[in-house]
Structure 1
């Protein structure tokens, strides 16, 4: 009854003559926004905060759908308001495991919202879901490729540099996944100046730029980029960044930068700090997604890799700790049995599972009574590995700063 009353109140607010903005959000609502956008933004915050408000995904989806229905064909700002609701719907679909439906919703958002900022946000999220699914996409793809030509106006696409930065960052990330490092260099060449400390929803672009620098061994600059994003996160309320969806929402960006920075610290030999940030990342993953979510398994893999590197650099041993972490990570990721035929090419999170099993195999190979098991696991990992930039052996053998290395991107669940 309470939830039904709430839904009705939200629906009535859409048609009310005065803006519906609760007191707790009045300070964050932009006064220049049109009334429909303010109401839509509050509905999005309510729907995506379902855990706090005890609303189910189905209840949250009904609220968003009702709001979008009421706003269709409205006045000034209604198209953008519908766009906010559709982005949120795609996020709910993604979180419910309905990835194809989420992609379709993002494509529909691009079709109906005239604003370049909304369409870039939908495209960024769409590419993020494609990358998470392990689909091969050329970095030359652009937002225009999935927009109806009847409503496309190229002159409006890149009149703002921060939109260029967002688009080029996704293209650069795609180039890295495709093993085209030189193309990534070109795409990231001029963009970072458009990161404006939490404004314009450019934090995901900055994280991707930091990962690029990290991958090619520029640890000094990567450190500066990661720290600037973390500082912006600390200073600003990222939850107000609603022009994002899927695995590019602020919560995912926060987890992503925390985990990537933790990896960089471990690659730099700063293990106490690395452990602190990776522990934070693990806590974020568990709080946001639950203890048995794949993002937890991905983060656990990064924690295990940190302990492996620490043991190597310090000449110590932490075999039991590492093995426990890899076993737990693979369990959470639902890795198939090693003797399962044909599964290495048809599994979710293949990048992370093959990396974790490659690392785990190395632990087994140094134990005389487990070498046979280690060889089988190593072979499975090599067969499953698909990274185009580095071989599995290169990924496992991190040597020193300034050398190419791999970075686990928790947002897309891929080894970059």
Structure 2
């Protein structure tokens, strides 16, 4: 039996809405949604129930109940048969089941559903690539993206244009994670700014524009993504996404991306509003102690650091408090100066957060010493943390010193909370 993880982000869940409706031409032709009439009703309802169970208590028991419901879908006549309706249903159930490694294995089965809607198979590759990226298996994510492009090019269905844009954007995201913006850019189609401005492909394109500091374009796309997600939720269609590329992760990261962008523009009130919404979304989906919550908190702390520097305010104190929470959630390793780089999950996020903790300690010592009555031993603690963060940093596009503002370069990373990576 598969592991029942205590982390909901590791579950490949599909976002489903309750109200039936005819196919939305716009959504269907962006390859993002499937009308409920094209799947078995009971599978849709049971997947809906499994999602509610997973969120209800965020416990091993609630995840286990959701898992058993989905397992039942796959073991009955509900998903048997080679006709499109039953294969669509099986694909939906497979997208909705499993945890990290198990999910990746389960998603392989989606590619065997040759009579299912092609968008389901594209979503499966997208989910696999997303999980590989979160596990820092970048080469395997790139292979999944290549297979996705090959799949769409070989079948060339009526939704070819939308699906190839989505498949290529997945490849672009894998290149962006590797730190090569120039290699990533050709994989993104300009139609993601307008006609195909929904879903994870558009979200990744917004992140590319943000790394390019094209903030106006990025902001418009983020807003389109959120509007499109809201429309899809109301439409009654089944959103085709799984793992960390599902509807909830999509909306969470769009809010987080907007918050980071507004911070980069020094619009701190707007930044705080968007990041607070992203945090509430993450806590609702995953629970208050989940690593993705720690990733959002890191983004908030970066915003408060920028605000403190620009406004010469006491936001630095808020920043340090947030990093203490992040340290507990992401389980920072001990800050020993002589220790070799430990093996930790979310290396760059941990390195950035611990490096910022060091920086905030030094700034606090310098600028707010009288207010906080900071002792000299905090400087020693900060120096140890600096060495730890430097040993963890792996990002190839920028150095930790660049990101912390210790050099003359003007680099602001984009934190992608879907995959817990820096772009």
| TM value normalised by structure 2 | 0.81
Q: Distance in 2 between matches of 1:123 and 1:36?
A: 20
Alignment of 1:188 with 2:197, yes or no, is: no
Partner residue in 2 for 1:237 = 233
Question: Which has the bigger relative contact order, CA under 8 A and spacing at least 6?
Answer: 2
**Cα offset, 1:156, TM superposition:** 3.0
Mapping 1:303-322, distance limit 5 Å = 303-322=300-319
Q: Distance in 1 between matches of 2:296 and 2:82?
A: 44
Work out which of the residue numbers 123, 126, 129 in structure 1 matches 2:128.
126
Partner residue in 1 for 2:10 = none
Alignment of 1:346 with 2:343, yes or no, is: yes
Partner residue in 2 for 1:41 = 44
Q: Distance in 2 between matches of 1:242 and 1:310?
A: 37
Q: Distance in 2 between matches of 1:66 and 1:255?
A: 30
Cα gap change, 1:36/1:273 in structure 2, threshold over 3 Å: closer, same or farther?
closer
Cα gap change, 1:345/1:124 in structure 2, threshold over 3 Å: closer, same or farther?
farther
Q: Distance in 2 between matches of 1:249 and 1:87?
A: 10
Q: Distance in 2 between matches of 1:189 and 1:336?
A: 41
Moved over 6 A (4+): 28-32, 52-55, 340-343
Alignment of 1:302 with 2:295, yes or no, is: no
Alignment of 1:168 with 2:168, yes or no, is: yes
**Cα offset, 1:126, TM superposition:** 0.4
Alignment of 1:396 with 2:399, yes or no, is: no
Mapping 1:3-402, distance limit 5 Å = 25-27=19-21, 34=37, 36-51=39-54, 56-69=62-75, 70=77, 71-73=79-81, 75-89=83-97, 93-94=98-99, 99-114=100-115, 115-137=117-139, 141-143=143-145, 145=147, 154-156=154-156, 160-193=160-193, 195-196=195-196, 202-237=198-233, 240-339=237-336, 344-366=341-363, 367=365, 369=376, 370-397=378-405
Partner residue in 1 for 2:417 = 410
Q: Distance in 1 between matches of 2:414 and 2:135?
A: 18
Q: Distance in 2 between matches of 1:208 and 1:167?
A: 12
Cα gap change, 1:240/1:51 in structure 2, threshold over 3 Å: closer, same or farther?
farther
**Cα offset, 1:59, TM superposition:** 2.3
Q: Distance in 2 between matches of 1:38 and 1:192?
A: 32
- Contact kept, 8 Å, 2:341 with 2:391, in 1: the verdict is yes
Cα gap change, 1:213/1:76 in structure 2, threshold over 3 Å: closer, same or farther?
closer
Alpha-carbon RMSD across the aligned residues, in angstroms, is 3.1
Q: Distance in 1 between matches of 2:146 and 2:360?
A: 48
Aligned residues: 380
Partner residue in 2 for 1:18 = none
| TM value normalised by structure 1 | 0.82
**Cα offset, 1:33, TM superposition:** 5.3
Partner residue in 2 for 1:11 = none
Task: Give the gaps of 5 or more residues in structure 1.
Answer: 1-22
Q: Distance in 1 between matches of 2:22 and 2:416?
A: 30
Task: Give the gaps of 5 or more residues in structure 2.
Answer: 1-16, 25-33, 367-375
**Cα offset, 1:399, TM superposition:** 9.8
Cα gap change, 1:152/1:363 in structure 2, threshold over 3 Å: closer, same or farther?
closer
**Cα offset, 1:171, TM superposition:** 1.2
Cα gap change, 1:153/1:362 in structure 2, threshold over 3 Å: closer, same or farther?
closer
**Cα offset, 1:102, TM superposition:** 1.0
